[in-house]
Structure 1
Amino acid sequence: MTDAIWDALKGLAKPSLTELFDGDSQRLDKLSTRFELGEEETLGEIRFDWSKTHLDDAHIAAFEELAGAMDFAGRRAALFAGEIVNPTEGRAAEHTAQRGVGKEESVQLALDYHHKTAAIVEAILRGAMGEVKHLIHVGIGGSALGPALAVDALAEEGSLVDVHVVSNIDGVALERALRACDPQTTMLAIASKTFTTIETMTNAESVMNWFRENDVEDPYGRVVALTASPDKAVEWGVDETRILPFSESVGGRYSLWSSIGFPVAMALGWPDFAEFLAGAAAMDEHFRDTDGADNLPLRAAFADQYYTRLRGCQTRAVFAYDQRLALLPDYLQQLEMESNGKSVKADGTPVEGPTAPITWGGVGTDAQHAVFQLLHQGTNLVPVDFIACIAPGDDLAEDHHRILLSNCFAQGAALMAGKASDDAARAYPGDRPSATILLDDLTPATFGALVAFHEHRTFANAVLMGINPFDQFGVELGKAIAKQIEKGGTTFDPSTEALLQAAGIA
Structure 2
Amino acid sequence: MSDTVAGIWQALEKLEKPTLGTLFADPARVADWSTRLDLPGGAIRFDWSKTHLNAAHAAQFDALADAVGFKVKRGAMFAGEVINVTEHRAVEHTALRGIGRDTSVEEATALHLRMKSLVEAIHAGALGEVKHLIHIGIGGSALGPALAIDALTRDGAKVDVQIVSNIDGCALEAAFAKCDPATTLIAVASKTFTTTETMTNADSALNWLRENGVGDPYGRVVALTASPDKAVDWGVDETRVLPFPESVGGRYSLWSSIGFPVALALGWDDFAEFLEGAAAMDRHFLESDGLANLPLRAAYADLYYARLRGCQTRACFAYDERLRLLPSYLQQLEMESNGKSVKADGSPVDGPTAPITWGGVGTDAQHAVFQLLHQGTNLVPVDFIAAIIPGDSLDPAHHRNLLANCFAQGAALMAGKEAKDGARAYPGDRPSATILCEDLNPATLGALIAFHEHRTFANAVLMEINAFDQFGVELGKEIAKSILGGGTKFDASTEALLAEAGIK
TM category (shorter chain) comes to: over 0.9
Distance in 2, matches of 1:503 and 1:176, equals: 24
The SS at the match of 1:438 is strand
> How much does 1:221 deviate?
1.0
- The counterpart of 1:144, out of the listed 142, 145, 149, is 142
Match of 2:445 in 1: 447
Counting only pairs closer than 5 Å after superposition, residues 96-111 of structure 1 correspond to structure 2 as 96-111=94-109
The SS at the match of 2:283 is helix
Match of 2:57 in 1: 59
Match of 1:498 in 2: 496
Q: Please identify, of 214-223 and 466-475, the stretch whose mean Cα deviation from structure 2 is larger.
A: 214-223
Q: What amino acid does structure 2 have at the position aligned with 1:83?
A: E
Match of 1:194 in 2: 192
Match of 1:50 in 2: 48
Deviations 1:474-497 (A, max 9, x none): 000000000000100000000000
Match of 2:165 in 1: 167
Deviations 1:399-448 (A, max 9, x none): 00000000000000000000001110000000000000000010100000
> How much does 1:44 deviate?
1.0
Deviations 1:287-337 (A, max 9, x none): 001011110000000000000000000000000000010000000000000
Match of 2:36 in 1: 34
Match of 2:295 in 1: 297
> How much does 1:133 deviate?
0.2
Distance in 1, matches of 2:230 and 2:343, equals: 34
Gaps of 5+ in 1: none
Match of 2:13 in 1: 10
Q: What amino acid does structure 2 have at the position aligned with 1:368?
A: Q
Match of 1:313 in 2: 311
Q: What amino acid does structure 1 have at the position aligned with 2:31?
A: D
- The counterpart of 2:24, out of the listed 21, 25, 43, is 21
Aligned-residue sequence identity (percent) comes to 73
Q: What amino acid does structure 2 have at the position aligned with 1:315?
A: T
Counting only pairs closer than 5 Å after superposition, residues 313-332 of structure 1 correspond to structure 2 as 313-332=311-330
Match of 2:355 in 1: 357
> How much does 1:280 deviate?
0.1
Distance in 2, matches of 1:91 and 1:30, equals: 38
Deviations 1:154-177 (A, max 9, x none): 111101000000000000000000
Q: What amino acid does structure 2 have at the position aligned with 1:313?
A: C
Distance in 1, matches of 2:19 and 2:283, equals: 34
The SS at the match of 1:505 is coil
- The counterpart of 2:70, out of the listed 69, 72, 77, is 72
Match of 2:484 in 1: 486
Match of 1:462 in 2: 460
Match of 2:394 in 1: 396
Question: Structure 2-normalised TM-score?
Answer: 0.99
The SS at the match of 2:448 is helix
Q: What amino acid does structure 2 have at the position aligned with 1:484?
A: S
Counting only pairs closer than 5 Å after superposition, residues 219-234 of structure 1 correspond to structure 2 as 219-234=217-232
> How much does 1:217 deviate?
2.5
Distance in 2, matches of 1:404 and 1:421, equals: 27
Gaps of 5+ in 2: none
Counting only pairs closer than 5 Å after superposition, residues 247-262 of structure 1 correspond to structure 2 as 247-262=245-260
> How much does 1:220 deviate?
1.0
- The counterpart of 2:473, out of the listed 472, 475, 492, is 475
Counting only pairs closer than 5 Å after superposition, residues 197-208 of structure 1 correspond to structure 2 as 197-208=195-206
Distance in 2, matches of 1:3 and 1:220, equals: 57
- The counterpart of 2:283, out of the listed 282, 285, 306, is 285
Distance in 1, matches of 2:99 and 2:142, equals: 24
Distance in 1, matches of 2:160 and 2:89, equals: 36
Q: What amino acid does structure 2 have at the position aligned with 1:453?
A: F
Distance in 2, matches of 1:488 and 1:31, equals: 58
Q: How many residues get paired?
A: 501
The SS at the match of 2:412 is helix
Distance in 2, matches of 1:302 and 1:387, equals: 19
The SS at the match of 2:466 is coil
The SS at the match of 1:318 is strand
Distance in 1, matches of 2:49 and 2:77, equals: 29
Distance in 2, matches of 1:447 and 1:143, equals: 17
The SS at the match of 1:386 is strand
1:263 and 2:261 are equivalent in the alignment: yes
The SS at the match of 1:85 is strand
Q: What amino acid does structure 2 have at the position aligned with 1:319?
A: F
Question: Structure 1-normalised TM-score?
Answer: 0.99
RMSD of Structure 2 on Structure 1 (CA): 0.5
Deviations 1:97-129 (A, max 9, x none): 000000000000000000000000000011111
Q: What amino acid does structure 1 have at the position aligned with 2:37?
A: F
Match of 2:79 in 1: 81
Distance in 2, matches of 1:226 and 1:446, equals: 25
- The counterpart of 2:123, out of the listed 125, 128, 136, is 125
Deviations 1:360-389 (A, max 9, x none): 000000000000000000000000000000
Distance in 1, matches of 2:349 and 2:277, equals: 34
The SS at the match of 2:188 is strand
Q: What amino acid does structure 1 have at the position aligned with 2:271?
A: F
